[in-house]
Amino acid sequence: MKVLMVITSHDQLGNTGRKTGFWLEELAAPYYVFKDAGVEITLASPKGGRPPLDPKSNEPDSRTDLTLRFEKDAAAEAQLDKTVRLDSVRQEDFDTVFYPGGHGPMWDLAEDKDSIKLIESFISAGKPIAIVCHSTGALRHVKSPDGKPLVQGKEVTGFTNGEEEEIGLTKVVPFLVEDEMLKLGATFSKKANWGVHVVSDGLLTTGQNPHSSGPAAKTLMAALKQKAARAS
């Protein structure tokens, strides 16, 4: 089984002068769900090479056993150093795609034509996908095969207005994930701030926040196994 993980290349937190990027737990937790299940992992990003890490995601209170495992894992770090360019990957080569979050995707993946086309091609091919936290924003321009917004009429989750407010970035981000999904006609499902919450609707699995990234990957793996069982 082969999984593609798409990571942001964007490192500027709006006009604050602060750095952003991908959130370490949201890469590390799913990475080991896949790796420990024997899945082949490819990491991609719009610019290729080493993607920017949100420095806040590696502060002591954000570290987990899995982020520490990732940092000590020479093979994982070597992969992260050499992410492939997003415009070079093809849906046909993978069983699924997983989007870790962090604030970076709000600026690049949400508007990236290669990313939009890629998600659309996975859905058209009937392959399950998973997207967590701020990367739910990467669905804003994605259309379903019938030309409607992919999330229209679907139940989704992602980083909530309440969570954004709690970290003081409501006025910094280009849009709010929750508001955007509602505007597109999705049913936005959420739990209390920082609670673990994963939603599946059809081929799409979404997770609310960093702590939901590992559980979202497990939900995706279950969907893939179910699909394989049906096929056989």
For the chain, 232 residues long, give each residue's pLDDT as a single digit of tens. Answer: 999 999 999 999 999 999 999 999 999 999 999 999 999 999 999 999 999 999 999 999 999 999 999 999 999 999 999 999 999 999 999 999 999 999 999 999 999 999 999 999 999 999 999 999 999 999 999 999 999 999 999 999 999 999 999 999 999 999 999 999 999 999 999 999 999 999 999 999 999 999 999 999 999 999 999 988 888 8
pLDDT at position 32, please?
A: 98
Residue 104 and residue 134: Cα distance in Å, rounded? 8
pLDDT at position 131, please?
A: 98
Cα separation values, 100 from 61, 129, 158, 161, 213, Å: 19, 12, 11, 19, 7
Report the predicted TM-score, pTM, of the whole model to 2 decimal places: 0.97
Contacts 24+ apart (CB under 8 A), 208-211: 208/132, 208/133, 208/157, 208/158, 208/159, 208/160, 208/163, 209/132, 209/133, 209/159, 209/160, 209/163, 210/23, 210/25, 210/26, 210/29, 210/57, 210/62, 210/101, 210/132, 210/133, 211/25
pLDDT at position 228, please?
A: 87
Please return the burial class of 161, using the count of CB atoms within 10 Å of its CB with bins 0-12, 13-18 and 19+.
middle
- Its sign, for the CA torsion 129, 14, 169, 182, is negative
pLDDT at position 232, please?
A: 84
pLDDT at position 231, please?
A: 86
Other beta carbons within 10 angstroms of residue 159's beta carbon come to 31
